[in-house]
Amino acid sequence: MRTLKTLLTGSVAGIALALAATGPGLAADALTLQLKWVTQAQFAGYYVAKEKGFYDEAGLDVTIKAGGPDINPSQVIAGGGADVVVDWMPSALATREKGVPLVNIAQIFQQSGMMLTCRKDSGIKTPADFKGHTLGVWFGGNEYPFLSWMSTLGYKTEGPDADITVLKQGFNVDPILQKQASCVSTMTYNEYWQILDAGMPADELITFKYQDQGVATLEDGLYTLEKSLQDPAMVEKLGRFVKASVKGWEYAAAHQDEAVEIVLDNDTTGAQTEEHQTRMMQEVAKLLDGSKKGMGYLAPEDFQRTVKVLLGAESAPVITKDPGEAAWTHAVYDKAM
């Protein structure tokens, strides 16, 4: 059934593309999007926008490149391998300070899905109990929010007098299952459910959401390079891309079963399951809400909150200065909306 639907949808999309390409002034413009991670419902809106023909309608020929453990979006765009990347703001700002001038052009996720999930039998009841424990953390840019939080709590994470042991966590939850760590990093829409699927019941776990702890930083925004924003034609093209992407996300949130089906159709690895992606889509949809002006709008106060959290890491600062308005723009969003 899925294969037939995909063929039919592909045919319609192909017709739309052909019409767009032959219409006056509507030749399809190529654009490449690099995702932060592998094909999954975390990125459903982009796959939906492509599958439903929203990019075609916008006169765009969009290539979506899946990410993975060995793919750094900022390196990809710096090397010319993408026009836009999906990244977390802590990683993007740290990368910018190191010399790659990334700029946020739209903020899709309005809330953070990041949290620490801990074993209750470790004795941890509040963040004040983290001292002396081993905590699993993802690196490759994902460690920045964690380090900021630990600094806010007054914990040292390095050296012989470190208050906690930081375990460089792989992209799995084995450390908590095997009691190698008292807590591991999880996303509300992904790894937390992997723990439950592995047989650990929810009543044996305690979670600490970054959003609830007041240390949430912005995740899953769209970023491009400064030089792209110096070209009015590129800004206009990016505006069309953002508008079509938002339409894709709105459709995905309203038609979650269909969105999951589209994600699975685009998973060339065959690693994802319908059950897991359905749960992920349900949780991801919750992170889209909260914008005062509409999906994709970056509220300046949310940007400043993220910067404040990152600058607050006294022992291991993620960034050393406020990048100011140079690190974000509403020009693309305004063009889109």
Of the candidates 243, 239, 288, the one whose C-alpha atom is nearest the C-alpha of residue 44 is: 288
Q: Which residues of 241-269 are buried (b: 16+ CB within 10 A; e: fewer)?
A: bbbbbbbbbbbbbeebebbbbbbbbbbee
CATH architecture of 114-213: 3-Layer(aba) Sandwich (3.40)
Q: pTM of the full predicted structure?
A: 0.86
CATH architecture of 2-111+218-336: 3-Layer(aba) Sandwich (3.40)
Q: Where are the domains of the chain?
A: 2-111+218-336, 114-213
pLDDT digits 0-9 by tens, 80-105:
999 999 999 989 999 999 999 999 99
Cβ 44 vs Cβ 281: under 8 Å:
yes
Lowest-confidence segment of 8-22, 68-82, 182-196 by average pLDDT? 8-22
Kindly report the number of other CB atoms within 10 A of residue 117's CB atom.
Answer: 25
pLDDT digits 0-9 by tens, 232-288:
999 999 999 999 999 999 999 999 999 999 999 999 999 999 999 999 999 999 999
165-170 mean pLDDT: 94
Domains 2-111+218-336 and 114-213 are alike in CATH topology = yes
| SS3 label, residue 299 | coil
